[in-house]
Amino acid sequence: MSSSLDSHTSQTWGGRFSEATDAFVQEFTASYSFDHILAHYDIQGSRAHADMLAASGILSSDDLKDIHRGLDQVLTEIDAGEFHWQVALEDVHMNIEARLTEIIGNAGKRLHTGRSRNDQVATDIRLYLRAAINSIQGQLRRLRAGLIDQAETYADTVMPGFTHLQVAQPVTFGHHLLAWNEMLARDDGRLTDCAERMNQCPLGAAALAGTSYPINREMTAKALGFTAPTENSLDSVSDRDFAIEFTAAAAITMMHLSRMAEEMIIWTSAQFAFVDLPDRFCTGSSIMPQKKNPDVPELIRGKAGRVQGHLVALITLMKGQPLAYNKDNQEDKEPLFDAVKTLHDSLLAFADLVPAMKAKPDSMRRAASLGHPTATDLADYLVRKGVAFRDAHEIVGTAVGMAETQGKDVGDLSLEELQSLSGLIERDVFEVLTLEGSVAARDHIGGTAPRQVRAAAERARAKLSAV
């Protein structure tokens, strides 16, 4: 079952070994099949490293020119799909280095001076994730903008607000959509924090102890857009906190998207009929011609669990590792890469869907009229008349019971019926027992009054523009 390693592998690390790596072990330990996604970032890091080595007098100017020329060709081959990935070369780094050496000769071997694959991959992942966060935040902010626009459109549209999925009080649809935006604003902030904490450069930490060569880590950090080099070489190569932190932020964001999806799914059902989703985001049934299934929200709800699983995988991966680098860390990439793609695509889908979602105000209003939604307003009315809140609560509870026996809403009780419960109730009570009166009364920051919803939308848009 054993096979000989090719010359590239032997040149890279094979000097210590007296027999070839088992063919199965080669395949089992190889990572090029998924870490090739880091190729652009690996080449970016190599360019910066080569420039630093030349500036430090470790590489000649001719070697530097050859390295840049060779890396240009490697990148062109990768982008064109012409690059030949080799399992014996294990990973993206060794595959690129071997091909570079084929193109430019011994100068390609000198590129690795003062670094290890350990600090190389730690740098590559940070470069990759920094770019990924930027792209993800672009989609996240597009979704937030769509929610804010929709909130303004539906600032006056009354719908039921729920607790325990029971009608509690009337709110406006715009107010509900701005609640979604608040969730996503916190997610946006977590991603920004993650990117800031991650933006330190491990390159130059080498395998674990640094290097004896006179390198300039500040130069490579600056060239790659990092704020500073990492402080400790042991931690530099073994740290994956940034990947875990991102995946935690991604899991929370996906949880929020799942909550949004759940409400969309409920709202599109015939029993609610609160919103209509565009046909292009739905599918039909192979057997029931009347069906319109909310597949996109359902799939996002399912994908949330996938990302949460990746978070658990990464935390578990790291929990038993001693310093410094261990082969275990090869398992950090697939969960991270999938979390990035899943979050990005889910946000993209919702950023396209939300602006096209249409409310059904009549259905929302009918639903908001059920379940005594203005009962709390009656209690507040009594409190303003001087009744202690606990006493007002009891009076309104009695009123609800009276309405229930008659099969009607508390707001439909007659003045005489209400006055039989409290002599303080006057005809003006009916001004607060309407749905519009109820939402209009919540006229403060954070409240559901249409005036406040529009003001909140303006503030949200200003905050979004400032990030």
Name the band, by pLDDT with cuts 50, 70 and 90, for residue 288: confident
Does residue 12 register a pLDDT over 80? Answer: no
Q: How far apart are CA 96 and CA 68, in angstroms?
A: 13
Pick the CATH number of 124-150+184-217+226-356 from 3.40.50.300, 3.90.1150.10, 1.20.200.10, 3.40.640.10: 1.20.200.10
Catalytic residue among 33, 60, 135, 285: 285
Q: What is the pTM of this model?
A: 0.92
Q: What pLDDT, in 10s, does the model give residues 228-265? A: 999 999 999 999 999 999 999 999 999 999 999 999 99
Nearest C-alpha neighbor of 396 from the set 412, 368, 414, 374: 374
The CA distances from residue 108 to 8, 358, 429, in Å, are 12, 59, 85
Give per-residue pLDDT as tens, 293-312.
999 999 999 999 999 999 99
Backbone angles phi, psi at 163, to 5 degrees: -130, 140
Element containing residue 23 per DSSP (H, E): helix 23-29
* Residue (of 154, 157, 70) closest to 106 by Cα position: 70
- Catalytic status, residue 256: no
What pLDDT score does 15 carry? 61
The architecture of the domain spanning 21-113 is Orthogonal Bundle (1.10)
Domain locations in the chain?
21-113, 124-150+184-217+226-356
| pLDDT tens figures, 38-89 | 999 999 999 999 999 999 999 999 999 999 999 999 999 999 999 999 999 9
Catalytic residue among 18, 164, 212, 465: 164
Check whether 2 has a pLDDT greater than 60. no
φ, ψ for residue 440 (rounded to 5)? -65, -30
Whether residue 135 lies in the annotated active site = no
Nearest to 177 by CA among 370, 350, 302, 377: 350
Residue 397 has pLDDT above 70, yes or no: yes
